[in-house]
A and B are shown apart, each in its own frame.
Chain A
């Protein structure tokens, strides 16, 4: 089920209503669990089995780790859980890609490799793996209640596109639904409104132009691609952070506070700063479960650079089985290594406007590799660069209508401006009265309704 589908408001209204009608912890837990399974199964019931199977293995492995004192046995169960999760991920996410590389073309590909990618598989497997590793590291006890654990993995607001939560933060909240839980209605509504505004006003609108340029490489000109790449940077930001805002807003209706996944990333002054602000839950996951175990920055400069490149290559591949994602990951990895070499280990101490410009250029160039459909498209564009017609401005047809272009550019400027002033002292201390907040909320609702782009596009990160 999509957050921006017609069915979802009805589903959400029913769940929220039932949740607040019955003041019983167990009922609320089972209600949310049932709703989460329905939410996922509504897309494809058969893949619910996969979700339940992989979660059950992790639940069992964590219990075994908790019960055994012997370190070797603990490690064995950890490896079993990791192998289970990674093989599911490998088969469903990378099986087709590896098969195509092995069999050379699609036609010879065995039918069993031609499977549909389960929505949100990268998110829920990473969340489960993080939990099992935390239990192994004695950071938290293994969860005894199967339903609580299952709810932690499947909690519907964040099931299909994160944020990838940590058990110590989320599990505790999902076990304790007492009647006096702190439900923040107004902040929740605001987060939802902001998420839908980002998605429907901006992301889907920009997507029309981005798709037109990147999906027809033979027809796109260089100026079009440049603008499309810039637009894509905002499309993916609004799409993904919009989803996270909606997820966080919905969770607040149940008294659950999900982690922040984005923190105004396009105001970053360095690349390292960017990665502390972009997809924070995934960056943190790779830092804690890959970068630190590899040695982090403790084993010398060159090992640290190697570790950074490894983490970013894996982060690229996490997004999907495509060479373009690997290139994107390595692009950022090399960028960070270069930043460390040129500006020292703490480059963000003296960032200026120059750093800001370089960082943005690096990030947006990276988006080109991320969005391009295939390696062959990159080669095609590389060849086209030398052709004069590629640089023509005569066919510079930006949008099918000027009003769409105007709305898109205005939306980007407004978003950037709002994020730039958000933390200013003169603004951050002020709170609007409840009446004004309600008024703005209603105005936002109707602005989204009138000006939104309602073509039912999926959220981009669903495919990861």
Chain B
């Protein structure tokens, strides 16, 4: 009788826990960008040669339909650490690209990257499944990441109540079969003061609470570079366009401008296509202060295609 009083509640708790884990993994978060893109990628009969990794800039800015043999993996807030995790895992599955394209934005090495991961803001299930105990020890991950990994893996639903409600909302992003997510929004249709307010909000969200240069992200950028080198993958960088308003805010902050110097130093020897100022005075090509809309993505993709073509004609230099 006494045993039952303990055993039955324990069994109920364990059963509920597994039920919630299953529901969370397979229903509530099943259509995240990362998982949508992965399922499309798996349907390809031959592995695409050019892979785009990175955050929302390549996610909205690169249309692989204009770059034959390419696939766009990029997803919201995917930073250098997550890029490395994905590349390492795919290489372990015997899949690798000829060319890997990474973004090099002003907030690419900001602390925001790991804050979002550790804060369980991204798709924990997807990312923690790509990390193992051996990864944590091999990469000498900080204890905070081990804690994040343990909770993401074994209590994925903890603190995630809002995903229950988001099920009833339409998913904001739906990728096509090549991983492209298009946005029809027109930033240019906003009034000037609305554009300034919007740019200020974007700038604040990137730099207000986070140091712009974070050694953690740099560490994983270097690891990605080393991995590409050892696997014979050609790594190139793209700086995606931003609007005049957004750039103006960034230029007022010396700490943000320092990012360019740091990145320049890191990318020494690698091909870099900089388009940051390329669409100045063309707000109609943006969906918001620092993301392209469908029209803008077409132009950006054309430029990247030309850049990659020009690179093919020149042999890769050893960085």
A-to-B contact residues, CB < 8 Å: 5-6, 401, 403, 407, 434, 438, 441-442, 445-446, 449-456
Contact = CB atoms under 8 A, between A and B. Distances in A.
B13 A445 contact: yes
Contacts of B12: 442
Interface in B10-45: 12-13, 16, 20
A455 B119 contact: yes
13 contacts: A5-B147, A6-B151, A403-B162, A407-B161, A441-B9, A442-B13, A442-B16, A446-B20, A449-B155, A449-B157, A454-B120, A454-B151, A456-B144
A-B pairs with the 8 shortest C-beta distances?
A454-B159, A451-B161, A450-B161, A438-B9, A449-B158, A452-B159, A6-B147, A454-B158
Given A450-B20, A451-B161, A452-B159, 12 more contacts: A6-B150, A6-B151, A441-B9, A442-B9, A442-B13, A449-B20, A450-B161, A450-B164, A452-B158, A454-B151, A454-B159, A456-B147
B165 interface: yes
B16 A446 contact: yes
B160 interface: yes
A100 to B, nearest CB: 25
Contacts of A442: 9, 12-13, 16
A355 to B, nearest CB: 39
B11 to A, nearest CB: 11
A407 B161 CA distance: 11
Nearest to A451: B161
B5 interface: yes
Nearest to A204: B159
A442 B12 CA distance: 8
Contacts of B159: 449-454
A403 B144 CA distance: 27
Contacts of B165: 403
A4 to B, nearest CB: 11
Contacts of B157: 449-450
A450 B147 contact: no
Contact of B158 (A5, A401, A403, A450): A450
Contacts of B162: 401, 403
A6 B158 CA distance: 12
B13 A450 contact: no
A402 B165 CA distance: 12
Contacts of A6: 147, 150-151
B77 to A, nearest CB: 15
Nearest to A219: B208
A441 B9 CA distance: 9
Choose among A401, A441, A446, A449 the residue with the greatest number of B CB atoms under 10 Å from its CB.
A449
Contacts of A446: 16, 20
